[in-house]
Amino acid sequence: MKGFAGPVALTDRLEKSKALDRPIRGLAKVVRERVKPGRLRDVLHGVPIGEPLHPSMASVTLGCWVSVGVLDAAGADSRAARLLLAVGIANALPTAAAGITDWSSLHREQQRVGFVHMAANLTALGLLSASLLARLRGRERAGKALSFAGLGIGTVGAYLGGHMAYRQAAGANHAPQVTHLVPLGWHDLCPIKDLPDGRPVARRLGYIQLFVLRRGESVTVLADHCPHLAGPLHQGRLVMQDGEACVVCPWHGSTFRLEDGSVKHGPATAPAPMFETRVRRDGTIQVRPLT
Ligand code: FES
């Protein structure tokens, strides 16, 4: 409809708006400094479960709060509503910790939407906490009004979260398609003598870019696009961590084991697709996706 800015147009505008960039930059820096690389950060990103932790935790919180709305609308037992409110509020805190940790390592356009998503959800959390307090003091009507208001604002927050996940692909794996784009079987890549020893380079296989690392006679080949947000892995640093050779993505520091492409440290939660390699008698390296 002409002249009507729907939610998609508004969110697209938010993505491009620089109005909040200063607080966004400051907050992201503080989060990265406070939540240092290590076990806690990996857990908050969801590395141990192989997918971002925030969305599944958020669905528990939102599910509790939607259930409160249903119980209130049906005039059901107020004790159940109080219990669900309390569970949702308790779960909101680790959910927010996981979300803000992910958010601190996103592109600026994603951070702009994420910042408003966070503000909406914190407002909802405040209203639902006030609702619980009001109910505990016996003010049921005020409690219901506050939780309906919180649910309304939480719905805006959930919409923005959906925009980040499905339209901006924050948290999605950015590399799984690579193995589907390579036809089955072995493919010539390049002569081994053309590769520098001990330094990763990018090579193309058709229209796919690969990370190629030669170490002596051994060659490691991964998809070059980092699964986190498609950063160029061939520009990353090679490191040894806990006796394992790894590559560190130059964009946000995701660390992948060279042995099998698995994630050593987030923010990535999915492995870098790996290719099997062999060297022909004439010195040509051949690759095929590792299935
Ligand atoms: S693109 Fe973010 S860590 Fe690689």
CB of 228 sitting under 6 A from ligand 1: yes
Nearest atom within ligand 1 for CA of residue 229:
1
CB of 236 sitting under 6 A from ligand 1: no
10-residue mean pLDDT series, the chain (291 residues) = 74 93 97 94 97 96 95 91 96 97 97 98 97 96 96 96 96 87 90 94 92 94 96 97 97 96 96 94 92 71
> What pLDDT shows up at residue 4?
62
> What pLDDT shows up at residue 3?
52
Q: Cα torsion for 173, 179, 180, 183, to the nearest 10°?
A: 170
In angstroms, rounded to a whole number, what is the distance separating the alpha carbons of residues 264 and 282?
35
Domain boundaries, the chain: 7-167, 178-289
Q: Is 156 exposed, middle or buried (0-12, 13-18, 19+ CB in 10 A)?
A: middle
Contact 98, 45 (CB under 8 A): yes
Centre of ligand 1 to C-alpha 25, Å, is 18
CB of 226 sitting under 6 A from ligand 1: yes
Q: How is residue 253 written in tokens?
A: 């520091």
Which residue stretches of 75-219 are H helix? 78-103, 108-136, 140-162, 178-181
Centre of ligand 1 to C-alpha 177, Å, is 17
In angstroms, rounded to a whole number, what is the distance separating the alpha carbons of residues 198 and 193?
13
Q: Cα torsion for 22, 24, 27, 29, to the nearest 10°?
A: -80
Placement of tokens 């400051």 in the chain: 26
Helix (H, G, I), strand (E, B) or coil at 188: strand
Helix (H, G, I), strand (E, B) or coil at 214: strand
Strand (E) or helix (H) holding 45: helix 39-45
Mean pLDDT of the chain: 94
Helix (H, G, I), strand (E, B) or coil at 118: helix
CA-closest candidate to residue 122, choices 142, 150, 148 = 150
Nearest atom within ligand 1 for CA of residue 226:
4
Centre of ligand 1 to C-alpha 82, Å, is 41
Q: How is residue 151 written in tokens?
A: 């649910």
CB of 247 sitting under 6 A from ligand 1: no
Nearest atom within ligand 1 for CA of residue 250:
4
CB of 252 sitting under 6 A from ligand 1: yes
Nearby residues of 118 by Cβ (< 8 Å), 6 or more positions away: 96, 99, 100, 103, 157
Task: Tell me the pLDDT tens digit for each residue of 163-190.
Answer: 999 999 999 999 978 878 888 889 999 9
Task: Quote the Cα angle for 166-100-65, to 5°.
Answer: 70
Centre of ligand 1 to C-alpha 249, Å, is 6
CA-closest candidate to residue 101, choices 236, 257, 266 = 266
> What pLDDT shows up at residue 215?
94
CB of 267 sitting under 6 A from ligand 1: yes
Centre of ligand 1 to C-alpha 267, Å, is 7
The whole-model pTM stands at 0.92
Centre of ligand 1 to C-alpha 248, Å, is 9
In angstroms, rounded to a whole number, what is the distance separating the alpha carbons of residues 96 and 134?
24
Task: Quote the Cα angle for 32-36-42, to 5°.
Answer: 100
Best residue among 104, 106, 229 to mutate for probing ligand 1, ranked by most atoms within 8 Å of CB: 229
Nearest atom within ligand 1 for CA of residue 231:
1
In angstroms, rounded to a whole number, what is the distance separating the alpha carbons of residues 223 and 230?
10
Contacts 24+ apart (CB under 8 A), 233-239: 233/200, 233/272, 234/200, 234/201, 234/202, 234/209, 236/200, 238/198, 238/200, 238/213
Q: How is residue 269 written in tokens?
A: 């939660």
Contact 129, 150 (CB under 8 A): no
CB of 164 sitting under 6 A from ligand 1: no
Centre of ligand 1 to C-alpha 179, Å, is 19
Tell me which CATH code domain 178-289 carries.
2.102.10.10
Centre of ligand 1 to C-alpha 254, Å, is 6
Centre of ligand 1 to C-alpha 30, Å, is 19
